[in-house]
Amino acid sequence: MNTTAPSAASRVAVVTGAARGIGKGIAQRLATDGFAVAVVDLDEAACVAVADEITAAGGNALGLGIDVADETAVEEGVARITTELGPPTALVNNAGIIRDNLLFKMSTSDWDSVMDVHLRGSFLMSRATQKHMTEAGWGRIVNLSSTSALGNRGQTNYSAAKAGIQGFTKSLALELGRYGVTANAIAPGFIETEMTEATAERMGMSFEELKAYAVKDIPVARTGKPADIAHTVSFFLSEEAGFVSGQVIYVAGGPKG
């Protein structure tokens, strides 16, 4: 194992689900922090657009389409990132989908799709990148959970996947810590994104109405922004956070868990 950690200027971060919303905010923040960023999502054109924005702002980024639930696509994608940007030593598993429904209405495919993206995707991406981290003797993995991990009506699939992410994270921390690699999870509360806008539409209300409803239960009296999650990711990926591993932080405007 190489005991010399990569310099900040040479570190490469991979952010999945980064074409929009929380993932895009994370990718932009990490570029500002000095990482070369691989912007990963299903839609390569959308990823390239985000990468172009980062590059125009003075950063270094690569946009590429990867289905994180596809083993071959993940292996080939990580190989391309390694060739074009350098070996990735930071990974943010943010890719996610929702297929909400009450249990008796939920289809098997809706269950499987959510598990595949959240859990299988995080597993495949972590397995493909961890070898670069262990070889470097330095690495950071951040997995996106959710307050729904505590249970949420109509989200048995999503809640189970997000709770699974927390156990996955703690196991990674135990396995990889000796190699200089930390693993932590962030569980966002209500964040203003395209996904929560779609939720409002599905519920038959305006986004402003949904936000107002959500704020009633948030102690800091506001909803979250992608920048709130990006800031927490930035901390976990920092050199100074090397003694923090296996933790779950609820970024939700108040106590959870």
Known catalytic residues are 158
CB 237 within 8 A of CB 90: yes
- If we measure between CA atoms, which residue out of 96, 95, 177, 186 comes closest to residue 140? 177
- If we measure between CA atoms, which residue out of 112, 129, 119, 77 comes closest to residue 95? 119
**DSSP 8-state code for residue 179:** G
Quick one: which H or E segment has residue 54? Answer: helix 44-56
- If we measure between CA atoms, which residue out of 184, 209, 190 comes closest to residue 254? 190
Burial 17-31 (b: 16+ CB within 10 A, else e): bbbbbbbbbbbbbbb
CB 237 within 8 A of CB 182: no
CB 145 within 8 A of CB 172: no
3-class state of residue 62 by DSSP = strand
H and E: helices and strands count for the chain: 9, 7
Question: Is the torsion defined by CA of 146, 115, 164, 106 positive or negative?
Answer: positive
For residue 239, what are its two tokens? 């050199």
